[in-house]
C-alpha cells in the first residue's frame, strides 16, 4: 500500500481510491489498476493533490481520455491523476477556453454550434483536451497545435502559469509540455456560420468513420506515419491486415489500428507490435515508431 500522507489531502474536495481499475477509462479497455487514483474537482484541487503526492514521495501520472495509451496488465505503481472534472468549455469572441478534462469532440461541437470556426479539423478525434495538447492530436487536415494560442499549466514547482507556445513547441504528434500538467487551453477561432460548420463537421466525421474503426476497442493509430508515407498502408502491404495476437487484431478497416476483439491484453498488443514492426522493416526497410504511449 502506498505511503501517502493523507493529511495533505485535508482541503481536497475531489475523490480518490486505491487499486482503482483503469481499463474502463481507456479506449482500448486494457490495463490493470492504479495503485492510487485521484480525481480533482478543479484546478485548486490539482495543486493540492500534486503537493500532497510530492510530500509523500509518491510518483504520479496524468490520465486524459484514455486514447493513445496502453497500460500494463499489471497496472501502474504510484498515483494516477484524472482531470476529467476540469471540463468547462467557454466559447468567447475569437477564442475557445476549455479545461483539460473537456472531451475534444464536445469542444469541436460546441464551437460549431456557436459559430466559432477553426476547429473542424479535430472532428472525430477521441480523448480530452489535455492529452490532445500533450500529443498534438490531429488529422490530415490539421492539428490542435495549429490553433493553440496559450496553455494554462501547472509547473513542476507547483506554480500555475499561462504558457504561450513559441515556434517549434508543437511537432508531429508531440509537444514540449514535458512534465508540466495541462490545466486548460485557449484555442483560436474565427467567425463562421453554425449550419455550415456543423455540415463540415459531419462530413469529416463520416469520412473518418468510413475509413477507421470507432473509438471504443482501439487506441487510435498505433504507429506514427513515417515522413511522406502511410504506416497503415505499409502494414497492409506487409500482409498484416487482420493478423491476430490473442485478443488483439490488426483492423481489417485500417491496418494502423489494433482492435481489442475481446479479452485482449497489453502483452497481446506488445507481441503484435513487435511482429508488425519486424514485417514492415523486412518489407520496406523502415522502423515504425510508436504513437501510442506505454504505461508500465
Angstrom distance (rounded) from CA 12 to CA 46:
9
Q: Residues 268-290: what's their mean pLDDT?
A: 97
Does 174 lie in the same domain as 134? yes
Residue 197: DSSP 8-state: H
116 occurs within a structural domain? yes
Angstrom distance (rounded) from CA 292 to CA 143:
17
Does 165 lie in the same domain as 128? yes
Does 179 lie in the same domain as 131? yes
Q: What is the CATH number for 43?
A: 3.30.43.10
Q: Residues 138-160: what's their mean pLDDT?
A: 95
Q: Which of 65, 82, 99 corresponds to the end of one domain?
A: 82
User: How many domains does the chain fold into?
Assistant: 3
Does 197 lie in the same domain as 148? yes
Does 101 lie in the same domain as 177? yes
| Residue 212: per-residue pLDDT | 81
| Residue 2: per-residue pLDDT | 63
| Residue 12: per-residue pLDDT | 93
225 occurs within a structural domain? no
| Residue 3: per-residue pLDDT | 66
Q: What is the mean pLDDT of the chain?
A: 94
Q: Residues 17-37: what's their mean pLDDT?
A: 96
1 occurs within a structural domain? no
Q: Is the pLDDT of residue 6 over 90?
A: no
Q: Is the pLDDT of residue 259 over 60?
A: yes
Q: Which of 25, 57, 82 corresponds to the end of one domain?
A: 82
180 exposure class (CB count in 10 Å sphere: 0-12, 13-18, 19+): buried
Does 132 lie in the same domain as 172? yes
The residue segments making up the domain with residue 189 are 89-211
224 occurs within a structural domain? no
222 occurs within a structural domain? no
Angstrom distance (rounded) from CA 278 to CA 181:
35
Q: Residues 266-291: what's their mean pLDDT?
A: 97
- In sequence order, what are the beta bridge partners of 170? 175
Does 120 lie in the same domain as 55? no
Q: Residues 273-283: what's their mean pLDDT?
A: 97
Q: Which residues 6+ apart lie within 8 Å of 61 measured at CB?
A: 76, 78, 79, 80, 81, 295
pLDDT in tens, 75-104: 999 999 999 999 999 999 999 999 999 999
Q: Is the pLDDT of residue 258 over 70?
A: yes
221 occurs within a structural domain? no
| Residue 206: per-residue pLDDT | 86
| Residue 215: per-residue pLDDT | 67
Does 147 lie in the same domain as 240? no
Does 202 lie in the same domain as 99? yes
Does 175 lie in the same domain as 93? yes
pTM of the complete model: 0.91
Does 169 lie in the same domain as 96? yes
Buried b (16+ CB within 10 A) or exposed e, 203-241: ebeeeeeeebbebebbbbbbbbbeeeeebbebbbebebb
Q: What is the CATH number for 274?
A: 3.90.78.10
pLDDT in tens, 65-74: 999 999 999 9
Q: Which of 163, 179, 211 corresponds to the end of one domain?
A: 211
Does 275 lie in the same domain as 174? no
Q: Which three cell numbers, joined as nine digits, stand for 226?
A: 513515417
β-pairing verdict for 190-191 and 116-117: antiparallel
Q: Residues 154-181: what's their mean pLDDT?
A: 95
pLDDT in tens, 194-216: 999 999 999 998 888 777 887 67
Contact 222, 232 (CB under 8 A): no
Q: What is the CATH number for 149?
A: 3.30.465.10
12 occurs within a structural domain? yes
226 occurs within a structural domain? no
| CA dihedral of residues 278, 218, 215, 210 (deg, nearest 10) | 40
pLDDT in tens, 219-229: 999 999 998 89
pLDDT interval class at 1 (50, 70, 90): low
pLDDT in tens, 34-50: 999 999 999 999 999 99
Amino acid at each position: 500500500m502506498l505511503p501517502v500522507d493523507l493529511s495533505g489531502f485535508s482541503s481536497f474536495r475531489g475523490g480518490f481510491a486505491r487499486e482503482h481499475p483503469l481499463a474502463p477509462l481507456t479506449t482500448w479497455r486494457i490495463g490493470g489498476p492504479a495503485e492510487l487514483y485521484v480525481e480533482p474537482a478543479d484546478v485548486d484541487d490539482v495543486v493540492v493533490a500534486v503537493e500532497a503526492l510530492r510530500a509523500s514521495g509518491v510518483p504520479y501520472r496524468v490520465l486524459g481520455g484514455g486514447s493513445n495509451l496502453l497500460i500494463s496488465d499489471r497496472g501502474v505503481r504510484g498515483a494516477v491523476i484524472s482531470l476529467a472534472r476540469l471540463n468547462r468549455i467557454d466559447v468567447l469572441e475569437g477564442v475557445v477556453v476549455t479545461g483539460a478534462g473537456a472531451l475534444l469532440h464536445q469542444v469541436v461541437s460546441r464551437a460549431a454550434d456557436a459559430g466559432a470556426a477553426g476547429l473542424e479539423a479535430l472532428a472525430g478525434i477521441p480523448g480530452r483536451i489535455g492529452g490532445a495538447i500533450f500529443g498534438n492530436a490531429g488529422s490530415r487536415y490539421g492539428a490542435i497545435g495549429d490553433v493553440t494560442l496559450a496553455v494554462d499549466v501547472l509547473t513542476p514547482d507547483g506554480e500555475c502559469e499561462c504558457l504561450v507556445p513559441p515556434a517549434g513547441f508543437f511537432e508531429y504528434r508531440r509537444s514540449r509540455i514535458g512534465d508540466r500538467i495541462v490545466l486548460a487551453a485557449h484555442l483560436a477561432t474565427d467567425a463562421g456560420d453554425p449550419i455550415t460548420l456543423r455540415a463540415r463537421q459531419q462530413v469529416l466525421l463520416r469520412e473518418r468513420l468510413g475509413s477507421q474503426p470507432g473509438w471504443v476497442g482501439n487506441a487510435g493509430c498505433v504507429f506514427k506515419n513515417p515522413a511522406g508515407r502511410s504506416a497503415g498502408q505499409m502494414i497492409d502491404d506487409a500482409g498484416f491486415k487482420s493478423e491476430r495476437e490473442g485478443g488483439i487484431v490488426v483492423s481489417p478497416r485500417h491496418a494502423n489500428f489494433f482492435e481489442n476483439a475481446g479479452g485482449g491484453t497489453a502483452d497481446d498488443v506488445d507481441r503484435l507490435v513487435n511482429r508488425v514492426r519486424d514485417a514492415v522493416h523486412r518489407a520496406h526497410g523502415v522502423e515504425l515508431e510508436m504513437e501510442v504511449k506505454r504505461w508500465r
